[in-house]
Every structure is written in C-alpha cells, then in structure tokens.
Amino acid sequence: MSTNELVVRRYLQAVWNEGDGEAIAGLVDERFRPGEELAVLFLPPYEGPAGVRSRLAAVRGAFPDLPLAVAWTITGAHLGLFPGYPPAGRRITVTGHRSFRLRGGRLVERHGRMSRLDLIRQLRPAE
C-alpha cells in the first residue's frame, strides 16, 4: 500500500470513524480545502487542520454514531461457474458500497448495494 493510501485510510479511520481530533495535525495540511458543495448548505466552508477539527466536532456532535462507509470496485476474470452462469472467460467489473455500524469496536450492522444489473449483463454469454 502506498504512503498516500495509508494517509487517506488513517484520515478516514482515525479522524472520522474514531473522532480522533489529535490525529488531524499529522494528516491535514494547512492548505487543505475540501470540495464539499452540499455541506456548505448546512455548515460554513472550512480549511486547514483547524477547520477539519471544527467540522469534526460539529458533525460528530450531531451524529455520534456515524457509520463507516466504503465504496468499492472489483474486477476479475470470470473463469469458474457462478450460480446460474457458466464461465464467460472475460474480465468483469462491479461497483458498490457498504456502510457499517460498530459498537464497542465490533461490527453490529452492514448495509450496502452493488450494481447487480451490471454484474448480470457481464455474466451473460457474448452474443
């Protein structure tokens, strides 16, 4: 995993999922400016570590049990039998998202969606 990926993961996990305001200083540059158009409707624009701390306090103060959300993309070769679909012999790509709710450091709920129609279209034999 690259250093950049580790920074983003740490930012999401420590700051937003755990509410660790102390982690902000080591992760957020003074020039940080988020591009959140909808958030401006509810909270003023913010920038830099101080702004992230302010936003974190406002959001987590209002929603202390925010779930962890993950968007994902999987790509792989369809080489084996998938229920109802013989191997197509080609690569498929599917996207989706999951959100999780944790209590006491343990998962208690998982919700999500995936692009099922895209998956089915790609599993069908080529015409």
Single out the residue of 48, 59, 1, 58 nearest to residue 24, CA to CA.
48
* pLDDT at site 23: 92
Q: Which two tokens stand for residue 26?
A: 């080591």
- CATH classification of 68-123, choosing from 3.40.50.720, 3.10.450.50, 3.40.47.10, 3.10.50.40? 3.10.450.50
Please give the residue that has the higher pLDDT: either 6 or 67. Answer: 6
Report the Cα 60 to chain-centroid distance in Å.
17
- Which one of 25-29, 43-47, 104-108, 123-127 scores highest in mean pLDDT? 25-29
- The domains of the chain are located at 3-62, 68-123
> 1-51: per-residue pLDDT in tens?
777 778 878 888 888 888 889 999 988 888 887 765 445 445 677 888 998
Query: What is the Cα–Cα distance from 35 to 2, expressed in whole angstroms?
Result: 23
Hey, which bits of the chain come out as E strands?
Answer: 68-77, 91-103, 106-114
φ/ψ bin of 84: left (φ > 0), alpha (ψ from -120 to 50), beta (otherwise): left
* pLDDT at site 44: 76
Mean pLDDT estimate for the chain: 79
Task: Give the Å distances, CA to CA, from 86 to 10, 80, 97, 121.
Answer: 41, 7, 26, 13
- What global pTM score does this model have? 0.56
Single out the residue of 2, 39, 8 nearest to residue 23, CA to CA.
8
